Structure 1
Amino acid sequence: MFIVLLRFAENRAAAGEHLAGHRQWIEQGLRDQVFLLAGGIQPGLGGAVLVHNLSLSQVRRRVAADPFVIHRVVDAEILEIAPGMADPRLEFLLPAPAGS
């Protein structure tokens, strides 16, 4: 599981120009069922995406395809999380027990 932080960068002023493509990128990740959640980092610092069921190399490729990343509207930081415990509603995020 990964948290992708998309912090505004040097070309932040071009966000409006690339917003439609960025939204399509997020919507595609949701349709592909690899993005679980996307939203803003407050107060207005950028955004974040919770990613599931991809390898690190797959996440890197997907992030590199975000128009905001391509046009340096944001800088992306990928944080990998190894889930160990979860609220029962989120147990689907935990790795399968050994031997299953």
Structure 2
Amino acid sequence: MFILSLSYKTDLSEADRHMEPHLAWVKAGYERGMFLASGRKNPRTGGVILARGERAEIEAVVAADPFTIHGVADYEITEFIATTTAPGLEGLKL
């Protein structure tokens, strides 16, 4: 599993200008079964996505995000292995 932590490199107005295509990209990640959860950071400095897949595939998908393409955000990709979960989230374990 991966934590995709994105941080805005531009002001929020620039992020908002690319938000609609970014959200379409996020939706496509869910449709592929790659994305498990996503949302904004608070305060609004970027966002976080929980994803599954192979690292090379994750990196390719991140490179295709409109936020990446237009220089709006940088991603930090952290791989982790969930060994313990709350009830109902057992599907997240390796």
* 1:81 is aligned to 2:80: yes
Match of 2:65 in 1: 66
Letter in 1 for 2:15: A
Query: 1 CA distance for matches of 2:16 and 2:85?
Result: 37
Deviation, structure 1 residue 11? 6.1
Moved more, 69-78 or 9-18: 9-18
Letter in 1 for 2:46: G
- What root-mean-square deviation, in Å, do the aligned CA atoms of Structure 1 and Structure 2 show? 1.3
Deviation, structure 1 residue 68? 0.5
Match of 2:93 in 1: 94
CA contact (8 A) 2:8 2:15 kept: no
Structure 1 residue ranges, 4+ long, deviating more than 3 angstroms after superposition: 10-13
Match of 2:2 in 1: 2
CA contact (8 A) 1:12 1:74 kept: no
Query: 2 CA distance for matches of 1:71 and 1:11?
Result: 13
Unmatched 5+ stretches in structure 2: none
TM-score of the two chains, using structure 2 as the length reference:
0.92
The one-character-per-residue Cα deviations of 1:12-59 (angstroms, maximum 9, x if unpaired) are: 54222211110100000111111111100110111110102x111110
User: Of the two, which has the highest radius of gyration?
Assistant: 1
